[in-house]
């Protein structure tokens, strides 16, 4: 090995043996981004205008100048606080990730200075000699110089799920193919308890220079795309900002041309901006998204990026892995063939019994072979663990057989003990069979039992008889054909088939003391008795078929992408419904009609199974054609690199693509996808890093639950935004009327902020808890470019209809307060200038009374409060109508979403506190209000509700009508 | 989409033109003429209905009000003080006693203000019992008003001196108490003014002692009490000629009545007023 000094030298040169984490944006940049994103710019402008106005007024010696200073500070605070909040939310979701990816530092056994040492894998350098044993993760790219029974699981790198043996022979030019190189982050397998694989090798690449490192850097090269919801929110911000700026500028011009002073016009402009911008909305959206993210995490979808929550909802194509995602990722006995009949076994996750007919003597014989001719063993100490969850030492097929036997017979280890094993020939690739000889547990039967299993055709070759109903019968042509049919049928299901046979050795030829020798094979291995076939498959998860059919009704195309054999892939696709029962592939049609594949009209085939080799030779156009023409597609034998091509193909169809992946080399595809989903259990860290979402249980069905949540949040965000936008008009109108009609200001800027950031916050979050109106999984995914979050209908209905209704209601309250104090509406018109004159202390009201400036101001605050209360009351109605967009409230149920009621009570409580609790704090501009003013806008609130019910009724009654097109948002 | 290439400007323009008027579908700003007609009709009906509803609810609200007195008077429980003439900016008098133009504005305001106090205008008003509230029977549709003769304002009445003392350097300022319906002052209310710095100015009150007679109260409102004249107190300031060109701040307060407040932290004009006078020669 190297000397420590030399190692240190190389370490200094090459850097540590670790992957450079993807470059992350500095925290301060992230923070500043939150400060200038969305509406912040607009509010900064507002704050700046406030300070300018303050500066001018202070120079002029205006007494109320400080109001503007405070308002500016408040606006700046609003921006900073919402920025901090958004940053905090963002950071929190990132932290979940950070904790997730944290790992125990890996240790490597290295030979340095001629001694074996444990060092952290990070400190390995090129030229180091390392020792690896079964179960270890390989600490760097190494060239093996000694290997014994060493197998590696390269699945994270190449996607091949079969373990691959490694030796010190150089077998191929390509480093990925040659047998004497083991790659960083792959695992050395613990092949069997008897043969712990060990290897020694020399480090040839470290850190970013390893194959994995190169792929990882490739992944970071794939750019991050904006999530659909980010695009939608940007679109929405543009609309609102556009409205705010244009109304602001328009009224600035109107004000100036109406001979208002420029300074006053600027102050109006501030008011218009503040009224137009839904200050609390972006925070609300963040909260809603993170609530959904939490809900999804409970359903095993861990979302890394909050916005991905919704992306999942707009998904139109899911490219799913097979192994582990659609399937249980373990071999399980699926079918049996004995007594000339095929039996199906239960393959569900939680099996505790098997229900096929077990009365036949043939089954007794078969089960004995299954039990005895098996080297797999349960790890000790798992007596209380369900059989299916126990850890087994042994390969996948043997594990399947062991568990199968344990479920039916129970205590397999005990049976084996009672039937002592005398000799054994393990499976090898030349024999293709496994054989063992046992004593029988029947003390009266002194014969030995020879049991054998293996490739069915090889087993059959060695048999001369076959067991039917417990009787040995000669294996004639008819029987052999029956066997062939069964074998083909099971093979056609994509299952791995094993044949089983046995022979009772005659007592006279093989006495008690007979020395069995496996090398010389001093026992018969032909003319055996064929007992049956067993076939195994990695069965689909039981929840998957349902989830796939849900996807189908939700208009989501599910594409299976697997490295497995096409037949297996197709079989699984059929069993989970990715290929539906009655659809055919081109090959199926060709077979049915007995014509060559080329003559089949491709349009007739709904399904397609594409081989990776075919894919390799395809042009983009051909791939597009396949993706468009076939609705049920399986890609088999694909390399993970091809996944990226498939994803890009789907994205060319304008689809929102979700991709699942676990391997390191899936990471480019995960990054490229609109939403990359990494597997939480099987996934590699690189995949988790590249993904937007982590599926904690690796279960496809969880994706579908996620989709449902994502769609729901999109609908609910729509409702939240509609709710929030509505009152902006009621906040804006006062300013416009104030400028045009010169009435005393109906509502102040500070009061507006109390609505936007006070009473309205909890209700708008409460809408995130709203249940779906109808089965959202029964409609097509939204079109990225057509179905907008904030569409024209939503804006128009909120702004021009409900918003105006609210304003009218609030103005009624305003005029009522003034009129009942002596200021009739006609007196108020054109009053503004003298009303706001600080030295005009004897303005006459409609009844001849004279008011000082402060008395007027106090009345003005009462007006603010009344206006505020009216908006609040009408926002309660607004909140209730926003529960549904199409259904009647009575269909939706008023009590199903209890959080809405929390919202309503909080809204009213906050208004009460502001009005009566803080009514004496002058800076807040609230006054205790007469109780009856709370009810002035009530008729309008009721009208809002009635009108919206009518709107929904017409939409339901006349779908597709003019009303539906213009009123449904 | 970030990936999308920037469209050439001409294409954007063409798209806009297409949006403004699409000759193929006949769409103007995204809607056909029929569609525009329908939507305009809808909003015409919608806003028409809203306007009618608003008018109706306002009308209902106004029906609940009396034309004589406002429903609530709790926002003005105590009257404010105000002066006449009111300088245009702030309450600061600047004038030169030898330049009649510099105070012409004040004089004309005073003249205008006192016109309604002319004897000729007060023929309908009655002479009331001084020192007593003049409460009138409720069923009287038209309330009577008490006479307030200009002569009570002495040298500030403008009868003898039509420059109200401005020419002589003894300017008159009228102090009045805001009208509030139903207000019944207690005690003996009078106006008391004082300069901020002692000795700079001599103050003479008309009527004597700045008394506000109770007989002018209560006020019954513009409609019932059309002829009502509020009592005035004239304050004549004899500014010490040595301090010309200096500001004199004068604060007037209503005193002597327990129910008329004059010390409110927030309302600087509630029962008090302060103004500045700067005279030059």
pTM flag (> 0.90) = no
Residue A21 has pLDDT above 70, yes or no: no
Helix (H) or strand (E) holding A889: helix A889-892
Least confident of A294-303, A657-666, A909-918: A657-666
Asked whether the bond before B218 is cis by omega within 30 degrees of 0, the reply is yes
Q: Is the pLDDT of residue A439 over 60?
A: yes
What integer pLDDT is reported at residue A104 of this predicted model?
47
Contact B57 A939 (CB under 8 A): yes
Contact B54 A812 (CB under 8 A): yes
Strand order from edge to edge, sheet including B232-239: B81-84, B172-177, B232-239, B201-206
Confidence of residue A22 (pLDDT cuts 50, 70, 90): low
- Sign of the dihedral defined by the CA atoms of residues A114, A116, A119, A122, in that order: positive
Q: Is the pLDDT of residue A100 over 50?
A: no
Q: Distance between terminal CA atoms of chain B?
A: 77
Lowest mean pLDDT among A384-388, A767-771, A821-825, B1-5: B1-5
Residue to mutate among B269, B274, B276, with most A CBs inside 10 A, is B269
- Within chain A, what is the greatest distance between any pair of CA atoms? 134
Instruction: For residues A750 and A864, give the distance between their C-alpha atoms in angstroms, rounded to a whole number.
Output: 10
Question: Of A811, A852, A939, which has the smallest distance from its Cβ to B80's Cβ?
Answer: A852
DSSP letter string, B175-187: EEEPP-BT----S
CA of A968 vs chain B CAs: smallest distance (Å): 14
Give ∠ CA A908-A909-A912 in degrees, rounded to 5: 85
**Candidates A804, A820, A844; nearest CB to B50:** A804
pLDDT (0 to 100) of residue A158: 62
Contacts of B38 in chain A (CB under 8 A): 962
Confidence of residue B5 (pLDDT cuts 50, 70, 90): very low
| Average pLDDT, integer, range A845-854 | 92
Q: What pLDDT was estimated at residue B3?
A: 39
Interface touch A819/B86, C-beta < 8 Å: no
Report residue A720 as tokens.
Answer: 């939240």
A854 vs B57, B62, B269: nearest CB: B269
Sign of CA dihedral B215, B219, B224, B229: positive
- Alpha carbons A517 and A880: distance in angstroms, whole number: 84
- Of A218-232, A553-567, B165-179, give the lowest mean pLDDT range: A218-232
Eight-state DSSP code of residue A912: H
Question: CA A273 → CA A731, A752, A797, A866, B47, distances in Å?
Answer: 10, 11, 21, 22, 25
Chain A 847-906, CB below 8 Å of chain B: which residues? 847-855, 858-859, 862
Which range is least confidently modeled, A427-436, A845-854, A869-878, A926-935? A427-436
Q: What is the pLDDT of residue A95?
A: 60
Contact B70 A850 (CB under 8 A): no
Under an 8 A CB cutoff, do B219 and A848 touch? yes
Q: Which of A499, A509, A411 is nearest to A455 (CA)?
A: A499
Q: Which residues of A are designated catalytic? A: 321
Segment among A433-437, A602-606, A930-934 with least mean pLDDT: A602-606
- The verdict on a CB contact (< 8 Å) between A847 and B81 is no
A220 band by pLDDT with thresholds 50, 70 and 90: low
Residue B236 tokens read as 């004549």
pLDDT tier at B4, thresholds 50, 70, 90: very low
Alpha-carbon separation of residue B107 from A359, A559, A602, A946, B247 (angstroms): 126, 94, 103, 62, 20
Question: Average model confidence (pLDDT) for chain B?
Answer: 86
* Least confident segment among A158-172, A653-667, A930-944: A158-172
Chain A (904-923) residues lying within 8 Å, Cβ to Cβ, of chain B: 922
Interface touch B225/A848, C-beta < 8 Å: yes
Q: Is residue A37 less than 8 Å (CB to CB) from chain B? A: no
> Please, what is the end-to-end C-alpha distance for chain A in angstroms?
72
Banded model confidence at residue A155, pLDDT cuts 50, 70, 90? low
Average pLDDT over every residue of A715-733: 92
Put simply, the answer to whether B38 touches A816 (Cβ < 8 Å) is no
Question: How far apart are the C-alpha atoms of A629 and A597, rounded to whole Å?
Answer: 16
Q: What is the average pLDDT score of chain A?
A: 85
Selected residue with higher pLDDT from B16 and A730: A730
- ipTM exceeding cut-off 0.90 for this assembly: yes
Q: How many contacts, defined by CB atoms under 8 Å, are there between A and B? A: 127
Q: Is the pLDDT of residue A192 over 60?
A: no
- Percent with pLDDT over 90 in chain A: 24
The strand pair at A657-661 and A675-679 is best described as parallel
For an interface test with A, the pick among B32, B44, B48, B54 (most A C-beta atoms closer than 10 Å) comes out as B54
- What band does A559 get if pLDDT is binned at 50, 70 and 90? very high
**Taking CA A373 as the corner, what is the angle to CA A368 and CA A379, rounded to the nearest 5 degrees?**
100
What the block records as the tokens of B150 is: 């200009």
Structure tokens at A584: 């055919």
């Amino acid at each position: 090995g190297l000397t420590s000094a030399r190692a240190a030298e190389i370490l200094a040169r090459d850097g540590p043996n670790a992957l450079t984490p993807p470059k992350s944006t500095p925290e301060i940049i992230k923070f500043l981004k939150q400060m200038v994103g969305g509406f912040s710019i607009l509010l900064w402008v507002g704050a700046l205008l406030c300070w300018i106005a303050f500066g001018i007024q202070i120079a002029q010696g205006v007494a109320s100048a400080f109001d503007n200073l405070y308002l500016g500070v408040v606006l700046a605070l609003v921006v900073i606080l919402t920025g901090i909040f958004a940053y905090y939310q963002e950071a929190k979701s990132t932290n979940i990730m950070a904790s997730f990816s944290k790992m125990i530092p890996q240790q490597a056994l290295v030979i340095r200075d001629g001694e074996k040492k444990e060092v952290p894998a990070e400190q390995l350098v090129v030229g180091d000699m390392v020792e690896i044993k079964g179960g270890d993760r390989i600490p760097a790219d190494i060239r093996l110089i000694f290997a014994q029974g060493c197998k590696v699981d390269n699945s994270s790198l190449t996607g091949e799920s079969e373990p691959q043996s490694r030796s010190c022979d150089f077998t191929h030019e390509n480093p990925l193919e040659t047998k004497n190189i083991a790659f960083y982050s792959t695992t050395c397998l613990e092949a069997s308890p008897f043969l712990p694989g060990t290897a020694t090798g020399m480090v040839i690449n470290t850190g970013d220079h390893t194959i994995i490192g190169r792929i990882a850097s490739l992944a970071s090269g794939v750019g991050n795309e904006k999530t659909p919801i980010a695009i939608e929110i940007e679109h929405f911000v543009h609309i609102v900002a556009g409205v705010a700026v244009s109304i602001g500028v328009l009224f600035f011009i109107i004000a100036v041309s109406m001979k208002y002073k420029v300074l006053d016009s600027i102050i109006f402009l501030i008011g218009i901006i503040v009224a137009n911008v839904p200050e609390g909305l972006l925070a609300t959206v963040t909260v809603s998204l993170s609530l959904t993210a939490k809900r999804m995490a409970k359903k095993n979808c861990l979302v890394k990026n909050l916005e991905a929550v919704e992306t999942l909802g707009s998904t139109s194509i899911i490219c799913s892995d097979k192994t582990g995602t659609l399937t249980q990722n373990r071999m399980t006995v699926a079918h049996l063939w004995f007594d000339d009949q095929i039996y199906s076994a239960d393959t569900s996750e939680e099996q505790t019994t098997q229900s096929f007919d077990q009365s036949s003597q043939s089954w007794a014989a078969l089960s004995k072979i299954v039990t005895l001719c098996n080297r797999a063993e349960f790890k000790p100490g798992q007596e209380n663990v369900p059989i299916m969850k126990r850890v087994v030492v042994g390969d996948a097929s043997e594990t399947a057989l062991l568990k199968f036997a344990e479920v039916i017979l129970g205590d397999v280890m005990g049976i084996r003990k009672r039937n002592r094993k005398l000799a054994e020939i393990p499976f090898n690739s030349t024999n293709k069979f496994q054989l063992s000889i046992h004593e029988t547990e029947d003390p009266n039967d002194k014969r030995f039992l020879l049991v054998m299993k293996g490739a069915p055709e090889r087993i059959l070759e060695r048999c001369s008889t076959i067991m039917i109903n417990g009787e040995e019968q000669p294996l004639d042509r008819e029987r052999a054909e029956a066997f062939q049919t069964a074998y083909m049928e099971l093979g056609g299901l994509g299952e791995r088939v094993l044949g089983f046979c046995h022979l009772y050795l005659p007592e006279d030829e093989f006495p008690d003391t007979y020395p069995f020798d496996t090398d010389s094979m001093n026992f018969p291995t032909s003319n055996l008795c064929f007992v049956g076939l067993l076939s195994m498959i990695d069965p689909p998860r039981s929840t998957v078929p349902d989830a796939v059919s849900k996807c189908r009704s939700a208009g989501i195309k599910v594409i299976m992408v697997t490295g497995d054999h096409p037949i297996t892939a197709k079989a699984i696709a059929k069993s989970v419904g990715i290929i539906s029962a009655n659809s055919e592939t081109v090959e199926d049609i060709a077979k049915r009609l007995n014509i060559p594949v080329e003559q089949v009209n491709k349009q007739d085939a709904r399904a397609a199974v594409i081989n990776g080799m075919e894919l390799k030779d395809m042009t983009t156009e051909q791939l597009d054609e396949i993706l468009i023409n076939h609705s049920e597609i399986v890609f088999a034998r694909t390399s993970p690199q091809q996944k990226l091509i498939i994803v890009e193909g789907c994205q060319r169809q304008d689809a929102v693509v979700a991709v699942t992946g676990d391997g390191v080399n899936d990471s480019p595809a995960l990054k490229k996808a609109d939403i990359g989903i990494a597997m939480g259990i099987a996934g590699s860290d690189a995949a988790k890093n590249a993904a937007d979402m982590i599926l904690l249980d690796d279960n496809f069905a969880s994706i579908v639950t996620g989709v449902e949540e994502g769609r729901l949040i999109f609908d609910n965000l729509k409702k939240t935004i509609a709710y929030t936008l509505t009152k902006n008009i009621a906040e804006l109108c006062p300013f416009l009327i104030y400028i045009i009609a010169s009435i005393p200001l109906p509502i102040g800027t500070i009061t507006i902020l109390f609505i936007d950031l006070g009473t309205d916050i909890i209700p708008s979050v409460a809408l995130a808890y709203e249940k779906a109106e109808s089965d959202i999984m029964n409609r097509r995914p939204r079109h990225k470019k057509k179905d907008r979050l904030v569409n024209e209908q939503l804006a128009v209905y909120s702004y021009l209809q409900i918003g105006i209704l609210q304003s009218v209601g609030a103005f009624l309250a305003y005029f009522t307060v003034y009129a009942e104090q002596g200021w009739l509406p006609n007196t108020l018109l054109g009053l503004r200038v003298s009303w706001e004159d600080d030295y005009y202390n004897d303005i006459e009201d409609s009844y001849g009374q004279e008011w000082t400036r402060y008395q007027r101001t106090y009345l003005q605050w009462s007006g603010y409060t009344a206006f505020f209360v009216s908006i609040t009351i009408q926002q309660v109605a607004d909140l209730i109508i926003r529960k549904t967009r199409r259904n009647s409230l009575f269909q939706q149920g008023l009590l199903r979403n209890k959080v809405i009621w929390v919202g309503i009570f909080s809204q009213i409580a906050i208004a009460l506190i502001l009005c009566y609790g803080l009514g004496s704090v002058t800076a807040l501009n609230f006054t205790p209000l007469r109780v009856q003013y709370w009810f002035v806008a009530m008729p309008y609130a009721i009208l809002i509700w009635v009108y919206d019910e009518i709107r929904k009724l017409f939409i339901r009654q006349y779908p597709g009508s003019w009303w539906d097109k213009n009123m449904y948002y | 989409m970030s990936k999308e290439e920037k469209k050439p400007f001409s294409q954007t323009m063409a798209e806009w033109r297409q949006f403004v008027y699409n000759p193929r579908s006949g769409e103007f700003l995204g809607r056909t003429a029929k569609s525009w007609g329908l939507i305009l009709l809808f909003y015409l009906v919608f806003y028409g209905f809203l306007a009618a509803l608003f008018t109706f609810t306002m009308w209902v609200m106004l029906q609940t009000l009396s034309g004589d007195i406002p429903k609530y008077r709790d926002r003005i429980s105590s009257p404010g003080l105000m002066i006449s003439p009111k300088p245009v900016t702030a309450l600061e008098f600047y004038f030169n006693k030898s330049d009649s133009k510099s105070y012409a504005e004040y004089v004309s305001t005073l003249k205008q203000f006192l016109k309604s106090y002319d004897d000729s205008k007060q023929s309908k008003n009655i002479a009331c019992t001084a020192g007593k509230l003049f409460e009138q029977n409720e069923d009287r549709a038209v309330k009577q008003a008490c006479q307030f003769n200009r002569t009570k304002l002495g040298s500030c009445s403008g009868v003898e001196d039509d420059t109200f003392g401005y020419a002589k350097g003894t300017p008159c300022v009228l102090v009045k108490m805001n009208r509030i319906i139903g207000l019944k002052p207690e005690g003996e209310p009078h106006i008391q003014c004082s300069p901020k710095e002692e000795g700079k100015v001599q103050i003479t009150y008309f009527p004597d002692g700045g008394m506000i007679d109770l007989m002018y109260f209560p006020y019954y409102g513009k409609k019932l009490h059309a002829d009502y004249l509020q009592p005035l107190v004239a304050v004549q300031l004899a500014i010490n000629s040595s301090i010309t060109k200096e500001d004199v701040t004068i604060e007037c307060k209503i005193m002597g009545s327990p129910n008329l407040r004059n010390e409110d932290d927030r309302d600087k004009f509630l029962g008090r007023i302060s103004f500045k006078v700067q005279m030059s020669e």
